[in-house]
Structure 1
Amino acid sequence: MKRIPLICYFILILAPFAQPERTVAGDQPSDFTRLHFQVPWPPINNKIQPSRAMHADLSTFVDEAWILPVHSSHLSPGHITSRALKMPGLRPFFLVGEDPQSLAWLHQRATELQEIGAAGLAVEVTDTQALARIRAAAPGITILPVNGNDIASRLKIEHYPILITATSLEQ
């Protein structure tokens, strides 16, 4: 039988004390999570009036030609039945396409959409000229090309144009 050196006994005895303390993820943020996953809060600007609708024209910052064409297979132009929603805190937004019904709807409701601070999602757009026509129907309102399939399935809608607010779906 071989003899085990004395140092091996000490290693076996002290090994459990050398392991780091086990913690459950989320109990205490480590330096890594604190540095990389902390969400910074925006600075508070007391000069902004909260009752006033704020508009950001994001289209001026990006060339959207790379995302076009946009086709939302779960949505088509058509009539919708208005219904109530309970989504407190949801900012108003609308879905439109490049079809004549959407352009007429946008032209009719542009003032109202701007007053409530609604942002637009163009869910059916073939090219930059079509996107320009959509934006021209409601000047001053942010309208971005986006695939609307996820929104359609979550809100159980099939048609556009549609205005979605915290309290209702309407056309």
Structure 2
Amino acid sequence: MPKFLLVVFVGAFASVSAIAELTIIYDTGHTKPIAPLLKPFVSDQVLPDHPGTAADSADQNVLTGATLGNLLPVRSPGLLVGDLAGRQLEPGVQERLAQGNPRPFFLIGSDRVSLEWLATHRDTLISLGAVGMLVQADTEQDVRHVAEISQGLSITLGSGSDLASALGIDRYPVLITRDGITQ
């Protein structure tokens, strides 16, 4: 290996270790700690309220894969299981759906009504390439029931409150496409 490349190669590794510690270059005073956001991904060890140097906190903060138990329960305040029949979309929602919804998606819960809806519409949802959001689940068993029925569908866990509010809906299960919101 030529001397020049060896120096560049060694120099690159030396500079990586020099940037390992973070330095705050600007703080608006409105920053929020990241610890609450990391809780689902952190082992049972406690995150410090005020992070110290990388050397001080490296042994305390061990990031791990999120466990299902850390993500539960899933709640969506303002959303209830039920029928959308007779409800009209708020003005502008249909236009927003037509413009900004390239892929069909659905909201479901782990309740009996949602599970029956999912079982009934599963093949249609797969053919549409729809993705789902589980907006209500209390236990790991709830999530497993949904997973058993949804074989072949991609479903994530999360609160659907903000999304439902933006779309003007308060019920699930629903399918949301460019053409509108249906059950």
Please show how residues 12-161 of structure 1 align to structure 2 within 5 Å. Answer: 63-81=67-85, 85-86=94-95, 87=97, 88-90=99-101, 91-161=103-173
Cα-Cα RMSD = 1.8
1:42 aligned residue: none
**CA deviation after TM superposition for structure 1 residue 146, in Å:** 0.6
SS of residue in 1 equivalent to 2:123: helix
For structure 2, the residue ranges without an aligned partner over 5 or more in a row are 1-64
Q: Give 1 or 2 for the bigger CA radius of gyration.
A: 1
1:51 aligned residue: none
For structure 1, the residue ranges without an aligned partner over 5 or more in a row are 1-60
Residue identity matched to 2:145: R
Instruction: Give deviations 1:42-94, integer Å, cap 9, x for gaps.
Output: xxxxxxxxxxxxxxxxxxx8643311100111101000037672323511100
Distance in structure 2 (CA, Å) of the matches to 1:154 and 1:89: 12
Q: What is the count of residue pairs matched by the alignment? A: 111
Please say if residues 83 and 170 of structure 1, whose CA atoms lie closer than 8 Å, have aligned partners that are also in contact. no
* CA distance 1:83–1:168, shift in 2 (3 Å): farther
Instruction: Give deviations 1:83-131, integer Å, cap 9, x for gaps.
Output: 6723235111000001110000000000000010100100000121101
SS of residue in 2 equivalent to 1:153: helix
Q: 1:163 aligns with which of 155, 168, 175?
A: 175
* CA distance 1:136–1:83, shift in 2 (3 Å): farther
Distance in structure 2 (CA, Å) of the matches to 1:100 and 1:119: 20
- Determine which structure has greater relative contact order: mean sequence separation of CA pairs < 8 Å that are 6+ residues apart, divided by chain length: 1
Distance in structure 2 (CA, Å) of the matches to 1:108 and 1:136: 14
Instruction: Name the structure where helix makes up a greater proportion of residues.
Output: 2
SS of residue in 2 equivalent to 1:71: coil
SS of residue in 2 equivalent to 1:101: helix
